[in-house]
Every structure is written in C-alpha cells, then in structure tokens.
Chains A and B, each alone.
Chain A
C-alpha cells in the first residue's frame, strides 16, 4: 500500500546514515553543552538542601540517568518490535545500539543511588522493590546484549533479543510504580502529575535541564552507534564503500 511507503523509506540504512549525520552533530553538541550548564548549575549554584545539605546534589546525575535508562528501554523494545513485525534491518540496528547505552545509564543510576544512600539512609544498598527491579532491568539489558551475540546467525540473534526486550518491558512500569505499591526505603516520586511537586523551583530547574540533556545525550549515543552499526553490517555494499572511500 502506498501509505506505508514513507515508513519503508525510513527503514533504509543508507537514508538513515546520510540524514542522521547532521542530527548526530547537533545532538552531540547540544547535549554536551546542556550537561555542562546543568552540572555547574546543579552542583554549584542550586541551594543546599535543608536536611541533606550538599549530598542531595547527587540527584542531578541519579535522577536523569535512572529516568533515561527506563525511557530508553522503551525505545529499544519498540525498535525490536518494529524489526519483528516489518523485518526492518535498521530497526534491529537501533535496538542493538541502544542496549549498551541503556545498560550504562542503569548502572550509573544504581551507582549514584548507592553513593547517595550512604549519607542519607546510612547504608549503601538495600534490596527494596525499587532497587531490586532496577537491578533486574540492568540484567535484562545485559541479557539482550549477550543474546544478540550468542547466535552465529545475526538474524536469529536480532529476533531473539527483540523478543527478550518485549518480555522485559513489564519491568519499567514496575520500577516506576514500585514506590507506591510497596513499602520501600526509596522515596516516592518528587515530580507529581496530580498535585504540586515537592521540590523548590530553584532546585527543580537544573534537574529538569539535566533530564532533557540526558535524553539528548542518549539520542546522540544511539544515533552515533547506529551509524557505526550500519557501516559494519552494510560494509559489502557499494554505497558504504563510496561513502567511506569517496567516489572511485
């Protein structure tokens, strides 16, 4: 059907490689600049907190990395689903490129949480619902990375990993709602949908900036890695040879 043509054109690795170059540069520059501004703002200019003093500033890394590790999971799972349904090569390449980025962000979220936990709770680590599900998310990311490489046939690896990412999707809402459904040591969400958020604006603005910046950093990394993956998987095609070596 004609109405789906745009969708299939978008699935062309060559099209993606060429069109995303400028996006990659723009996102890379913007996200780095925003992270620098957000960091200096959050770490140096935002006021100290009443009960925690300065240790609360870890949240300027913790909250964005944790949020994007969950949001990024959906990007990966949906890319995998599109690959399964439309058998789109590019979609699997996006899925493959996303997994390590998500895994690193999940690890950073866990690590910064532990660093914050010591001065705040008195312990580095507890096995409450929020943190345990976050560890499960980390292992699902690692599983997807490993599964893709476990098959000698690339196509099989892609499909298996896409299936695992679909099964693992349930863990993201579980992480999100864990603090409401169970008694956890981890606090509830500060940004609330139905009532007033419980953070002072002077502390919230750098945090919101950091969340946007981390999403853009994630997009940059995914596009960057996908372009590399395209070059690798399409290395035998004429257009890649031309793109890398110039017209013969």
Chain B
C-alpha cells in the first residue's frame, strides 16, 4: 500500500478508536445514569430522594394485585426478587400489565414507603408465541422472561 494511503488508513482507525474509547469511558463513568429505572432494592433501602419523581422497574408479585370495584384504583407489589415495594395507582393500566410480568412505574414515594404511581408501563419481553400454540400448553400464562428466576414471597 502507498505510504500516504497507509498514513490516512491509520488516521481513520485512530478516529474510530478514539471516539469509541471516549464514549465508552463516559458511559462507564455514568453507567447507572443509563438505566431507565431504579431497582426495587435500591428504592426500599431508602437511598432515594423522596421529593423527586422516580421510576421503578421490577416484576409484579403474583396475587398482590387488588383492584377497587368502584373506580380505577389498583394496589400491587413489585419486586426484583430481593425486596418488595407497594404501589398504588389511580388510572388505566396497560393491557399487558399482569402478574409475573415486568413493569416500570413512575411515581413518588410517600412517607409510608409506598410508591404513588403517576404512570404504569408494561414491559414486554423478547418472546413471541402464537396464540394457538399456547392453547395446547399445560399452563397458558407463561411468565415474562424478564422475571425468570425471580422468587416471590
């Protein structure tokens, strides 16, 4: 290869390498900043500013969802397998919200440590199963992959 071209090739590689390393360092230094939601353990441990609105991500504990009969009020518990957090929500839940499914909740902690939600989002996992296939399965409700290995108590 011509020496001038070789020099330019090295320059191109250096540009790519430097920009990658810089981005990697910035993202590594702010790694929690990249997370869309706090883990439940972190919230329960009290390490959270109660005056601010936060997002919590976890799995809905089976049997914990209690819906009010006269209005759109729901209470449920959400967990990361280590700690549980009580959530109250006054609004319409997304269709995919269910027990043993992952969810992300935006809200504020009250004095009793309950998360008062202003928004509830359902997190879909990466599995795609046809309806007909699942009808033949023993258990029709397959829990989310995001909640695999989580023990509820």
The residues of A with any CB-CB pair to B shorter than 8 Å are 1, 4, 46-53, 56, 81, 84-86, 119-123, 126-129, 163, 166-171, 174, 178, 181-185, 187-190, 198-200, 202-204
Name B128's contact: one of A166, A183, A190 (CB within 8 Å): A190
- Contact check, A50 vs B121: say whether CB atoms are below 8 A apart: no
- Contact check, B126 vs A120: say whether CB atoms are below 8 A apart: no
Give Cα A184 to B34, complex, Å.
Answer: 8
Give Cα A1 to B5, complex, Å.
Answer: 13
Name B36's contact: one of A120, A171, A182, A189 (CB within 8 Å): A182
Extra A-B contacts (16), CB below 8 Å, given A182-B31, A182-B34, A200-B130: A48-B130, A51-B129, A52-B124, A121-B94, A121-B123, A121-B124, A122-B97, A122-B122, A123-B121, A167-B15, A174-B23, A178-B34, A185-B121, A187-B123, A199-B127, A200-B133
- Whether A56 touches B128, Cβ cut-off 8 Å, given contacts A123-B119, A166-B19, is yes
- Contact check, B129 vs A184: say whether CB atoms are below 8 A apart: no
Shortest CB distance A77–B (Å):
8
- Contact check, A49 vs B121: say whether CB atoms are below 8 A apart: no
Shortest CB distance A59–B (Å):
8
Give Cα A171 to B57, complex, Å.
Answer: 25
Give Cα A9 to B107, complex, Å.
Answer: 63
The yes or no answer to B70 lying at the interface (CB within 8 A) is: no
Closest to A182 in B: B34
- Whether A184 touches B94, Cβ cut-off 8 Å, given contacts A85-B8, A126-B121, A167-B19, is no
Name A166's contact: one of B15, B96, B119, B124 (CB within 8 Å): B15
Name A121's contact: one of B5, B122, B129, B133 (CB within 8 Å): B122
- Contact check, A170 vs B23: say whether CB atoms are below 8 A apart: yes
- Contact check, A122 vs B121: say whether CB atoms are below 8 A apart: yes
- For residue B125, which residues in chain A have a CB less than 8 angstroms away from its CB? 187-188, 198
Q: Mark B13-45, 1 if CB is under 8 A from A, else 0.
A: 001100110011001000100111101000000
Closest to B11 in A: A84
Give Cα A126 to B95, complex, Å.
Answer: 18
Closest to B20 in A: A170
Would you list 10 pairs from A and B whose C-beta atoms are within 8 A, ordered by A residue?
A48-B130, A50-B133, A53-B131, A81-B12, A121-B124, A122-B96, A167-B19, A181-B34, A183-B35, A187-B125
Give Cα A169 to B9, complex, Å.
Answer: 16
- Contact check, B57 vs A120: say whether CB atoms are below 8 A apart: no
Give Cα A126 to B105, complex, Å.
Answer: 12
Closest to A133 in B: B34
- Whether A122 touches B133, Cβ cut-off 8 Å, given contacts A170-B20, A198-B128, is no
- Contact check, A190 vs B130: say whether CB atoms are below 8 A apart: no
- For residue A198, which residues in chain B have a CB less than 8 angstroms away from its CB? 125-128, 145
- Contact check, B124 vs A51: say whether CB atoms are below 8 A apart: yes
Closest to A167 in B: B19
- Contact check, B130 vs A49: say whether CB atoms are below 8 A apart: yes
Closest to B120 in A: A122
- For residue A199, which residues in chain B have a CB less than 8 angstroms away from its CB? 127-128
Give Cα A1 to B36, complex, Å.
Answer: 54
- For residue A52, which residues in chain B have a CB less than 8 angstroms away from its CB? 96, 124
Give Cα A200 to B124, complex, Å.
Answer: 16
- Contact check, B121 vs A121: say whether CB atoms are below 8 A apart: yes
Give Cα A81 to B10, complex, Å.
Answer: 11
Shortest CB distance A80–B (Å):
9
Give Cα A121 to B65, complex, Å.
Answer: 18
- For residue A129, which residues in chain B have a CB less than 8 angstroms away from its CB? 34-36
The yes or no answer to B134 lying at the interface (CB within 8 A) is: yes
